[in-house]
Structure 1
Amino acid sequence: MNQFRDLTGLSSFDPNEADKFKDDPLFLRSVARTIAVLSAFQSARHPLSLTQLATASGLDRSATQRIVHSLLKLGMMTRDPEDRGYLPGLRILDMAHDFIRLNPMLQRANPVMLELRRRVRERVDLSLFDDIRVVYALRMPSKHEVFSATIVGHAVPTYCTAGGIAILSRLPDEQIADIVNRSDLTPFTPYTITDLDGVMEQVRATRQRGHSVLCRQLLPHEVAMGAPITDANGAPIGAIHIAGNLQEWTAESFSDSFGPLLENAARTVSERPQPSDGRNSPAL
Structure 2
Amino acid sequence: MSSAAPEFADELPDDPLFVQALGRAMRVMEAFQKAERPLSLAEIAAATGITRSAAQRIVHTLRKLGYLRMAPDGRGFLPDLAVLNLTYDYLRLNPLIRRASAPLLELRRTVRERVDLSLFDGQRMVYASRLQSKREMFFATLVGHSVPTYCTSGGWAVMAMLPDDEVDQLLAAADMRALTPRTLTDPDAIRAQIALVRQNGHALAFEQILMGEIALGVAIADPAGRPVAAIHVAASLAEWEPEEFRRRIAPLAAEAALAISR
Q: Fold-level match, TM-score > 0.5?
A: yes
List aligned pairs for 1:41-60, cutoff 5 A: 41-60=32-51
User: Corresponding residue for 1:75?
Assistant: 66
User: Equivalent residues in 2 for 1:1-284 (5 A)?
Assistant: 19=10, 21-270=12-261, 272=262
Divergent runs of 4+, >6 A: none
Distance (Å, rounded) in 1 between the aligned partners of 2:92 and 2:142: 16
Q: What secondary structure does 1:19 align onto? A: coil
Superposed displacement of residue 20, structure 1? 5.5
CA contact (8 A) 1:214 1:251 kept: no
Partner of 2:3: none
Corresponding residue for residue 12 of structure 1: none
TM-score of the two chains, using structure 1 as the length reference: 0.88
CA deviation after TM superposition for structure 1 residue 84, in Å = 2.4
C-alpha displacement of 1:177: 1.6
Q: SS where residue 243 of structure 1 aligns?
A: strand
Write the distance in 1 (CA, Å) between the matches of 2:260 and 2:85: 25
Deviations 1:42-75 (A, max 9, x none): 0101000000001111111111110000001111
**What is the alpha-carbon distance in structure 1 between the residues aligned to residue 218 and residue 49 of structure 2?**
38
Give, in whole Å, the separation in 2 of the partners of 1:29 and 1:179. Answer: 29
Verify the 8 A CA contact 1:163 1:239 in the aligned structure 2: yes
Deviations 1:8-45 (A, max 9, x none): xxxxxxx95x7252222111111110000000000101
**Structure 1 residues 65-90: Cα deviation after superposition (integer angstroms, max 9, x where no partner):** 10000001111100111222100011
Letter in 2 for 1:115: E
The sequence identity of aligned pairs, in percent, is 48
Give, as a single letter, the amino acid of the residue that structure 1 aligns with 2:39: L
Mark the runs of 5 or more structure 2 residues left unpaired by the alignment.
1-6
Unaligned runs of 5+ in 1: 1-14, 273-284
* TM-score, length basis structure 2: 0.95
Q: Is the 8 A contact 1:224 1:242 kept in 2?
A: yes
Deviations 1:92-135 (A, max 9, x none): 00000110111001010011111110000000000001111110
Kindly state the Cα deviation for residue 250 of structure 1 after the two structures are TM-superposed. 2.0
Change (3 A) 1:208 1:119: same
